[in-house]
């Protein structure tokens, strides 16, 4: 049985509870999620990480840790609408594919410019703490929240409590899709400021 098949055996109710625990910063839930989903993400990264020069600086664990760390921060702030284990697997695999593509572009640009320092100085090349450690570091989440505007922080808090976009939109008299995009842009801005995607 594949990891993806095993992960999808979790009931939707159990999964919703797990995700709510992850959003609230529950380290035990985060560790379970890492144990359950990390092998599938690493397998995908290994399949995609074919460039030898890139493999000199990265391995599948580097990218997997970066993907999961990014996921945990964004999940804790309510960015994702995930209702099943299969959706989570698809999201994490997509994030992993995009991460490999981004790192390949970064490496290619550095090679063209003859700037090897860009490669050797990258966050991934130095390694990062494990995803479960990232989740347990309340300081990172606190820093992300501090960089949001009051309105963005309010949206993130409501999403973190499990409020749906429809309910939030109705209470604010605004389109749920507009609010979702506003929060997504805010996360992208903060992620860039904190270099969470690197």
C-alpha span between 116 and 106 (Å, rounded):
11
Name the nearest CA neighbour of 68 among 46, 45, 101, 51: 45
What's the pTM? Answer: 0.68
Q: What is the pLDDT of residue 168?
A: 92
- Is the predicted pLDDT of residue 57 greater than 90, yes or no? no
More confident residue, 48 or 114: 48
Ordered by start, the domain boundaries in the chain are 3-194
Residue ranges of the alpha helices (H) in the chain?
3-7, 12-23, 27-48, 52-55, 60-76, 85-112, 116-120, 123-126, 131-136, 138-147, 150-160, 165-172, 176-194
Q: How confident is the model at residue 167 (pLDDT cuts 50, 70, 90)?
A: very high
- Is the predicted pLDDT of residue 150 greater than 80, yes or no? yes
Contact status, residue 124 vs residue 58, Cβ threshold 8 Å: yes
Q: What is the pLDDT of residue 79?
A: 81
**Taking residues 160-173, what's their average pLDDT?**
88
**Taking residues 23-36, what's their average pLDDT?**
83
Q: What is the pLDDT of residue 110?
A: 66
Q: What is the pLDDT of residue 67?
A: 84
Q: What is the pLDDT of residue 173?
A: 92
Q: What is the pLDDT of residue 58?
A: 67
Q: What is the pLDDT of residue 88?
A: 92
Q: How far is C-alpha 188 from the geometric centre of its chain's CA atoms?
A: 11
C-alpha span between 185 and 62 (Å, rounded):
25
**Taking residues 138-159, what's their average pLDDT?**
84
């Amino acid at each position: 049985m594949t990891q993806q098949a095993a992960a999808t055996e979790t009931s939707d109710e159990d999964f919703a509870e797990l995700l709510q625990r992850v959003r609230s910063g529950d380290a035990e839930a985060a560790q379970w999620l890492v144990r359950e989903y990390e092998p599938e993400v690493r397998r995908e990264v290994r399949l995609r990480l074919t460039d030898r020069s890139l493999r000199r600086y990265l391995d599948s664990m580097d990218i997997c840790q970066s993907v999961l760390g990014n996921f945990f921060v964004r999940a804790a702030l309510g960015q994702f609408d995930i209702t099943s284990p299969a959706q989570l697997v698809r999201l994490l695999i997509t994030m992993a594919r995009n991460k490999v593509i981004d790192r390949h572009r970064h490496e290619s640009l550095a090679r063209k410019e003859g700037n090897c320092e860009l490669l050797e100085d990258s966050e991934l090349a130095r390694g990062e703490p494990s995803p479960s450690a990232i989740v347990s570091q309340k300081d990172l989440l606190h820093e992300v929240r501090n960089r949001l505007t009051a309105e963005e922080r309010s949206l993130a808090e409501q999403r973190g409590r499990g409020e749906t976009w429809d309910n939030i939109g109705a209470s604010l008299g605004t389109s749920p899709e507009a609010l979702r995009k506003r929060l997504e842009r805010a996360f992208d801005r903060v992620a860039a400021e904190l270099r969470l995607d690197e």
